[in-house]
Structure 1
Amino acid sequence: MDDVHGRSPVRPAAPVPPTRNLRLLSALRALRANPITLFPRQAYVEPVLALGRGRRSILLVNDPCTIGHVLVDNAGNYVKSRLQQDVLAPGLGEGLLTAEGARWQATRRITAPLFSPRAVATLLEDMRSCALAMRDRWLARPQPGETVDLAAEFQRLTYEVVSRTLFSGALDADRAGVHAEMAVYFDSIGRLDLSGVLGLPGWWPRPAHHRAAPAIRSLRQQIKAAVSARLGDEEHEREDLLERLSRAADPATGQMLSAGQVVDNVLTFLAAGHETTANALSWIAYLLSLDPAAEAAVVDEIAACAPMGIADARALDRLSFTRAVINEALRLYPPAPFIGREAIEDDRICGREIRPGAQILIAPWVVHRHRAHWSEPDMFRPQRFLDDCGDRRRPFLPFGLGPRICIGQRFAMQEMLIVLSAILPAFRFEPVDPDRVFPLARVTLSPAGGLPVRLVPR
């Protein structure tokens, strides 16, 4: 099937699935090194598949109706899996990403108004300013075609956007230090701790937690200081996330978050709000570098629909092909490649009895490449997300689904559109070694070893 301007679609980097389920030791090595290499060919054709054997097996769910049952219709029976909590909770505590039950509901109600369409639209100019500053910094480089790690550049940019828009710059005192500690945290906890996979007790030593502990302590201390400074500033009231977390009450109960919950949630939004978007932007740049016709179509659309840049939210709606490129990148490289759930009560899905404690895995990495759902699933074809293409109705989970769908999805989509509209008319990207680009699954899905590219001015 042809793609933009009649060109054949390109096949970007992805692991070759093993022909069958790996044996225990091989599976554990794959889990430790790069979990997306674990899924066998069957995973990409079957509606459900048991991974492993016995009481430690995990049920991989690919069927759209069953995914809807677990994440939407019967979501109350499926909480975040213990393995997922074991990875995230040591750093994020009981923030929005990890909390359950009434505590999660209260935090969601407090923070939701800041992510409404109207509220997100008010952040447009700050996002644009950050993106243009990065573009201008690149233009000022003395050597045209200089090599940079684009993944690191996008990490820096998205941190600046989150800090400015959600926290009014309150976390900028030691930006380089925060970046370094975030990197240690994500790298440490992202290397799956096999003690959790094997079901070892909570007191069993967990090396990943030990490695991440100093970074977590430092991050939490800086956030506590920022929260204290904000609470002590009665003269300048700001309508940002930090203000709302620190002072707002749950509209349903009238209760406010505790000091510890505020810190948990600031760290959650800081981590999730920049890591995932930076990775998505890296994958978009990589994919466009493989497909010059698609890249040219995006640049032409930006020139036609937003010649002076994104001036208002209405301009975003006109970038239909650019949005399709973003969605196709999110399909091929979902920033959060795994959604883990654990059953609380008995249930039945796809003809299988589900008992309390059963582990359910919904893997956007697999669902988005499933042969039953997508045409040419391993190919980069942005057209599949345009109105006249049937693939638009397929299961698409880059932000999750149901009541726990990512609260920041509008924020992230707006940010990506603004960044692309700022930098693509000025630069094209040439990967230094495109054959070495490979997806690495940790907590998020990033290019292994970064993304070295040459910045080529247009």
Structure 2
Amino acid sequence: MQPAAPSPATNGHAHAPPVKVPLVTEPMNIFASLKAARANVLSIIPAIATRQPMVSGRTGKRWHMVMDPDAIRSMLLENLENYPKSLVTKNLLRPAIGESLFIAEGAHWRWQRRTAAPVFSHRNVMALAPTMTAAAERSCARITEAGPRAVDMAADMVRTTFDIIADVTFSDDGTFDADVVHRGIDAYISDAGKISLFDILGLPDWVPRPGRIMSGGSVSAMKRVADEAVEARRARGPEGVPDLLDLLIAGEDPETNRKMDTAELRDNLLTFIVAGHETTALTLAWSLYLCAYDQGVQDRARAEAQSVLQGRAATGEDVSKLPYIRQIIDEALRLYPPAGMISRTAQVADTLCGREVRPGDTVIIPIYALHRNHLLWEDPDSFRPDRFADRKAVPRYAYLPFGDGPRICIGASFALQEAVIILATLLSRFRFTPVAGRDPEPVMILTLRPEGGVWLEAEPV
């Protein structure tokens, strides 16, 4: 289905595709699945899922993995209400982000989405671009300062994108302690991310979770800091370019005129911070790993970036003039989607790919396997940015880095603009090469991270 020409292997990588997750070749019982999921959620995906439209099984309860674009379209678009987010997903995230946009269902989700959608309009996202440009400059300064030694670009990208989200959320007005929030998010992701057997079995929230107790203190500190910042901003009002908090406070549901209260504002801001910095950082870290892995791609991207930027950092206006940089990001999102798997719980009887789905079944879209499915992609494990030279040739529900349907990620345009600005700026100024023996390992707990970091040598050009 992908007519893209293979890029010439300029670096001896012709026969070794970039790092990937080893998928399962034998069926697993519930305890083996749990053990595997705690180490790497993606490791429970059967390898056959990359060659079939649908795979079903039973591990405690019935489950189905769906890789067929038409069936996925039916779940995410046509029959959205019949496939709400699964209990596991909600139980994992609710303690940190409450009933925010990411978790809410039905009417409660709809009014929040209507209120928040204008916040991410093209005009508002463009107005936040200078913050992204400044953060890209600071990243370049840190890399230069590190001198000729290797840098963990995954860690630097987390720092860069967290700076941006803290800045565009609270515009650094002194009321927001970014470190407390960063610590709270890190503690929560590392503790809560270890999938609890209780969550898989769907036990109610009041049953204590072993991993969740530890992060409770950091999470309440994070919420307290965010509450104080929201209240201080309400009292002060906006100044200068409105940031995300100003825009959300001003936002109201066009149908009911309802506005968000402090808890709703806080939960949605924390959702934007949690969802909005790590996912983009991961996309950038994997993009840099892939550019170091294929120097031919990197050279072509650098030539494009240098011709547009002429020595300066990229801005919002440059994004549309950097199509190849965007293709690299799209291909990194295909190979290493930050949300590598989404699960839903069927509410009514249905038929997907000619197979019976019963109420209560867990229906999983393993985005990692969808993006590497041999029925949908030519040579799916290879890194080929040219697949995205013609976006219209990519079947819509075969490529879901941001989900799709009414619940498509609200911040997708923000994330893509940020990623293009940062990647173009870095590639225009440095040549990145891999450190021998330090390949990252793709591991998904809540998001698909490069375990061990992305260690690259950066040589100024």
User: So what's the TM-score if we normalise by structure 2?
Assistant: 0.92
Distance 1:241 1:449 in 2: 33
Superposed displacement of residue 238, structure 1: 5.7
Which of the numbers 95, 101, 104 marks the counterpart of 1:90?
Answer: 95
Q: Does 1:245 align with 2:263?
A: no
Q: Which residue does the alignment assign to 1:21?
A: 27
SS of 1:52 mapped into structure 2: strand
Matching of residues 397-412 of structure 1 within 5 Å: 397-412=400-415
Distance 2:103 2:391 in 1: 38
Change (3 A) 1:118 1:434: farther
Change (3 A) 1:448 1:352: same
Superposed displacement of residue 456, structure 1: 2.4
Matching of residues 447-458 of structure 1 within 5 Å: 447-458=450-461
Q: Which amino acid aligns with 1:61?
A: V
Q: Which residue does the alignment assign to 1:262?
A: 265
Q: Which amino acid aligns with 2:20?
A: A
Distance 1:179 1:433 in 2: 31
Which of the numbers 31, 43, 46 marks the counterpart of 1:37?
Answer: 43
SS of 1:50 mapped into structure 2: strand
Q: Which residue does the alignment assign to 1:367?
A: 370
Runs of 4+ in 1 over 6 A off after TM superposition: none
Q: Which amino acid aligns with 1:20?
A: E
Distance 1:389 1:248 in 2: 34
Matching of residues 268-279 of structure 1 within 5 Å: 268-279=271-282
Distance 2:311 2:128 in 1: 18
Q: Which amino acid aligns with 1:277?
A: T
Q: Which residue does the alignment assign to 1:199?
A: 202
Q: Which amino acid aligns with 2:373?
A: H
Distance 1:430 1:13 in 2: 16
Change (3 A) 1:418 1:312: closer
Q: Which residue does the alignment assign to 1:233?
A: 236
Change (3 A) 1:311 1:277: closer
Q: Does 1:12 align with 2:15?
A: no
Change (3 A) 1:433 1:170: farther
> After superposition, what is the alpha-carbon deviation per residue over 1:78-97, rounded to whole angstroms, capped at 9, x for unaligned?
11111100111111101111
Change (3 A) 1:308 1:147: closer
The total of aligned residue pairs comes to 455
Q: Which residue does the alignment assign to 2:178?
A: 175
User: So what's the TM-score if we normalise by structure 1?
Assistant: 0.93
Q: Does 1:115 align with 2:126?
A: no
Change (3 A) 1:9 1:280: farther
Superposed displacement of residue 171, structure 1: 7.2
Q: Which amino acid aligns with 1:36?
A: L
Q: Which amino acid aligns with 1:294?
A: V
Distance 1:357 1:394 in 2: 24
Q: Which moved more, 1:274-283 or 1:254-263?
A: 254-263
Q: Which amino acid aligns with 1:385?
A: F
Change (3 A) 1:243 1:393: closer
Superposed displacement of residue 370, structure 1: 0.8
Change (3 A) 1:137 1:15: closer
Q: Which residue does the alignment assign to 2:449?
A: 446
CA contact (8 A) 1:159 1:274 kept: yes
Q: Which residue does the alignment assign to 2:74?
A: 69
> After superposition, what is the alpha-carbon deviation per residue over 1:41-72, rounded to whole angstroms, capped at 9, x for unaligned?
21111211114346x12211111100000001
Matching of residues 78-157 of structure 1 within 5 Å: 78-141=83-146, 144-157=147-160
Unaligned runs of 5+ in 2: none
SS of 1:374 mapped into structure 2: coil
- How high is the sequence identity, in percent, across the aligned residues? 35
Unaligned runs of 5+ in 1: none
CA contact (8 A) 2:45 2:366 kept: no
Q: Which residue does the alignment assign to 2:427?
A: 424
Q: Does 1:396 align with 2:402?
A: no
CA RMSD of aligned residues (A): 2.2
Which of the numbers 221, 226, 242 marks the counterpart of 1:223?
Answer: 226
Distance 2:17 2:364 in 1: 26
Q: Which amino acid aligns with 1:117?
A: H
> After superposition, what is the alpha-carbon deviation per residue over 1:98-155, rounded to whole angstroms, capped at 9, x for unaligned?
11112211111111112122221222222111111221233234xx222332211111
Q: Which amino acid aligns with 2:132?
A: M
SS of 1:446 mapped into structure 2: strand
Superposed displacement of residue 169, structure 1: 1.9
Q: Which moved more, 1:8-17 or 1:125-134?
A: 8-17
SS of 1:439 mapped into structure 2: strand
Distance 2:197 2:451 in 1: 21
Distance 1:63 1:322 in 2: 29
Distance 1:155 1:9 in 2: 31
Distance 1:78 1:244 in 2: 31
Distance 1:102 1:392 in 2: 30
CA contact (8 A) 2:402 2:412 kept: yes
CA contact (8 A) 1:115 1:411 kept: yes
Q: Which amino acid aligns with 1:46?
A: Q
Which of the numbers 297, 309, 324 marks the counterpart of 1:294?
Answer: 297
